[in-house]
Structures are given as structure tokens and as C-alpha cells.
Amino acid sequence: MTQHLADALTSDSGLPTTTGTRPGWWREAVIYQVYPRSFADSNGDGMGDLEGIRSRLPYLKELGVDAVWLSPFYASPQADAGYDVADYRAIDPMFGTLHDADAVIREAHGLGLRIIVDLVPNHCSDQHEWFKQALREGPGTPLRERFHFRPGQGADGSEPPNDWESIFGGPAWTRVPDGEWYLHLFAPEQPDFNWEHPAVQDEFRSILRFWLDLGADGFRIDVAHGLVKAPGLPDLGRDEQLKLLGNQVLPFFDQDGVHEIYRSWRKVLDEYAGDRIGVAEAWTPSADRTALYLRPDELHQAFNFHYLSTGWDAVALRATIDDSLDSMRPVGAPTTWVLSNHDVVRHRTRFGSLERARAAALLMLALPGSAYVYQGEELGLPEVTDLPDEVRQDPSFFKENGQEGLRDGCRVPIPWSGDQAPYGFGDGGSWLPQPAEWAGLSVEAQTGDPASTLELYRAALRIRRERGDLGAGDAVEWLEAPEGVLAFRRGDFVCTVNTTGEPVRMTPPGTVLLASGDAADPADPGVLGADTAVWWQG
């Protein structure tokens, strides 16, 4: 180990522990998700990497975000884009080395940015040493107890132990040569850990400390709701295809036993200075269930998937905003707001237009709490819907009865510069092809253009930083507004959002600070344009 890395293993982030006047930087932070393989390629192999990320950190600082969440970069066979981890303490060579990870963390801290790393505790890779050893040792041996191995049903054990389906399609069980079956809620290459086993719990507390010692400011916890399964692994008892991202009540999701795990993790996080945090990817049946993950002795944030799943409708959006704020308030946790990520269709395409996507961004950034921005949404990137089958890599795409298999469309490498692919992503092409029309959506093409989506995000994030009444707090004051329009006040700030396809006349609540689009009549501020959001100084 070099002295540089040894120093890193004992370093603190050195960053302030508060944002504005509220304790806890995460309460009103804007966090940018980097999908490493699609962000920036430094070595020309067509795949993004850690050095590429490090080189683009100044861009994220200029954009105005507070923290960066890195999707997995661990050693992995890449059966599920790195969410099948073979070694939680090593970097996959396609992304670089542990020294590269250290450099990203250190340089980010030097720019005043925090780093959140992705942690995948529900399952590992079938190439993880524990699982390979469990296969070698055979039935009834101690290593098998760290996973869910079971005998099959039927006279010859040829039927799966229960009727659970994989999220990616097909049975959630795979049989091994000695006759036993193992559980995998996702791909067969992703065996589920048995979180009832103390060795699993000990191992992940050690993994937490490894990355905290390296300087990580927190963890995004993949499938945080899935670690504990119902006792006895009962049959689902119904013919229902599971959803990758949904709120179904299921015997392997959102079991109450997960909360004791996160209480033990919170103790580890609290051992470290600098407000290190845990962020739950928890798909639950309701916002109230999500709030349970955020009690004062558990995690700090959870993704607000109820908001992400809400359509472009004023009534529905207001109801979700109220429900989200009301649910988080009793546990004292900030609400999070998110429009896109690496698992869902980009919101420009979901909402049907760039105008709606721009308006949705201003709405999200005006709400109290923490906001998440997925790489490329600040460029107004649409979903890539016409990828040829031969380039797709989403494992669910290859299952006959799996999900839509279209997650690759939101993972296409983002454009940085130039008028031809790969648009500055790297010198060796890109692992997924980029559309020709992305030349006009690159960072270079949009920088300095006041009408561009990138400059809209930069302006919104600058205003949000400058104003103490944005981000802070846990409530909004709704104002009277025409049908199809959202209007709320926060101190002397007002946000209005027209979700209709027609201009709407209303009394101007102040002076315009920022607008997502032009009014129907620029000379008449009393007209709120179709699918437009406006920030006002009240």
C-alpha cells in the first residue's frame, strides 16, 4: 500500500457539516447521479471510467450540485452492469483501480463536492468467493447458510422450493449440480445473501468502514427493502409478474426485519465525522412505509419513487407532494425529489416533451428537501428508444417473460462536445450508440445559450444556493390557482407551474426570477405559458 493510499484510509472529508442553517448537509442537497460506464471515457475503450469521472468533476462543480452519487464500479463480471459484485473492496479493471477511486474522492472534496458510493447488499455475484466456496462445499455446510440454499419440491426435488419469480423474469431459483436450489431475486448470476446470518451482517459493516475510511460521504443502498425475506419463504400464491420498480406487497420486500440492519449501520455511520449518510432505494407500498427507513436511528434519506411515478398532472402532483412531506415530517427526515435515474425511462420522454421536462425540473428544485439529478437530464436528453437488439445489455431484455428490458435507453453515454459521435465521451466510440441529434444537446453546444436546458439548470441551482428559503423546511403554502396550475409560496419565493397545454392567465405573484419557457405573450407576465414553470420573487 502506498503512503498516499494509507493516508486516504485515515482521512476525513474535511467538508462543512451543515448546509445553510440546517444541521445535516443532505437535508437540502442537490445530488448528481453518475452512471460510470456512460459518463466519460479516459482511455478510449468505449467505456466510462473513474479517471473520466475525475476529469469532469469541475463540470459538476460549475453545474452547482452538492454531491455526486456513483453507481457501482466494483469488481464484477458485469452480468447486471456491476450490480453483481464479486469483490466489494476492489475496483473493476474496466473502471480503473482503487487509487483512481481515491483520486475521485479526494478531488471531489477539494472542489467542495461530496461522494456517495453505491452499495449492493441484497445479493452478490455468483463469482463472489463466498458463493464459489459454498458451491464447492456442498449441502449442509456452513458457507451455504450465508445464502438461501434449499432442497427442491417434488419426489425428485426437481421443482423450485417456492413459486417466487425473478424480477428479471423466470423462476427466482436456480438448481446446482448437487440438487439444491439457490435464491436470486434478480439474475441467476446474483445470488441473494441470507441476512439472518451474522457473518453477512459483520461483513457489510466491515465494507461500510472500508469505504468510510477511504473518505466516502455516504452510501446509496441498492434494493434496501429486499434484504430480509418472510420467515419460511412462503409461496406468493398468485400468478403475478413482478415489477422491477413497483409498490407491490411481497414476502421478500419491505419486511420489518430490515430496520434492525439499518440501525446497526447507522451506528457505523455515526462513528465518523462529517455527517456520513445512508440513502435507501426502497420501493414500498406507501410513503408512510418509506418513512420507517428514516427514523432517527436508521437511514438519512430514501428515494421518493412515489414522486418519480407521478404523471404530468397538477392534481396528482399536488397530492404526491403533500403526501411526501406529510410522511417524512413525523420522522424528521427530508423529503427527496427525483425525476429520472438509471432504471427508468428519462422524464423528458415519459412526460412527452422537453417543455414539460424543463418545467418539471423547476418544480422539483423549488420543493423543500433534497433533489437528485440523473446525468444528462440537465442536457434535456430524451430516452433512446431505437437501440438495436444486438447492442442491448439489460439482463431483463433477454427473458421471455421479464420486464420491458429497456433500461439501456437511459444509459446511453452522454454527449460532451463535437458534432459527431461519440461527442467527446472518449476517443474510442461508446458502448451504446448515441443518436445523431445529440450533437445539438452536448455540453459544448448548450453552454452559453440562455435558452438551453443546461443553462436553465445552472441558473436554477445558482438561485437555489443563494436563497435560504429553497431546499430548507418541510412544507409549502399552496396558493389559489387556475385549474391545471400549481402555485405555492415559500417565504418570499413563489413557484407556479402550468401543467396544461394552453396558456393560462393569472395574477403575477411578483417579479420573475426564472422561467422554464416563454410566456404566451412575453410583454404580459400575467400569462403563464403552456407546460411552463416560473419562479417569482414575491
Residues in the chain: 538
Q: DSSP string covering 465-513, please?
A: HH-TTSS-SS--EE----TTEEEEEETTEEEEEE-SSS-EE----SEEE
Residue 473 Rama label (left phi>0; alpha psi -120 to 50; beta)? left
- What are the grid coordinates assigned to 433, written together? 450508440
d(CA 78, CA 92): 9
User: Rounded to an integer, what distance in angstroms lies between the CA atom of residue 11 and that of residue 65?
Assistant: 23
In this structure, the number of other CB atoms found within 10 A of the CB of residue 244 comes to 18
Residue 339 φ then ψ, to 5° = -110, -30
Which position among 222, 377, 408, 531 bears the catalytic label?
Answer: 222
- Gap between the Cα atoms of 33 and 250, Å rounded: 28
Answer yes or no: 222 catalytic.
yes
Measured in degrees and rounded to the nearest 5, phi and psi for residue 364 equal -60, -45
Give the distance from CA 105 to its chain's centroid. Answer: 19
Distance from first CA to last CA of the chain, Å, rounded?
Answer: 57
Strands 173-175 and 504-505: unpaired
Q: Which letter, b or e, does each residue of 322-361 get, where b requires 16 or more Cβ atoms within 10 Å of its Cβ?
A: ebbbebbeeeebbbbbbbbbbbbbbbbbbbeebbbbbbbb
In 3D space, the residue among 257, 245, 308, 311 whose CA is nearest the CA of residue 282 turns out to be 245
Q: Show the DSSP H helices in 329-446 as ranges.
A: 347-351, 354-366, 443-446
281 carries an active-site annotation: no
Question: Residue 353 and residue 276: Cα distance in Å, rounded?
Answer: 37
User: Residue 436: helix, strand or coil by DSSP?
Assistant: helix
The candidate with the shortest Cα–Cα distance to 123, out of 204, 34, 212, 37, is: 204
Output the DSSP codes for 385-417: ----GGG---GGGG-TTS----GGGG-SPPP-S
- 202, 240, 271, 521: the catalytic one is 271
C-beta of residue 498 within 8 angstroms of C-beta of residue 485: yes
DSSP for 13-68 reads ----SEETTEESGGGG-EEEEE-GGGT--SSSSSS--HHHHHHHHHHHHHHT-SEE
Query: Any idea which residues carry the catalytic annotation?
Result: 222, 271
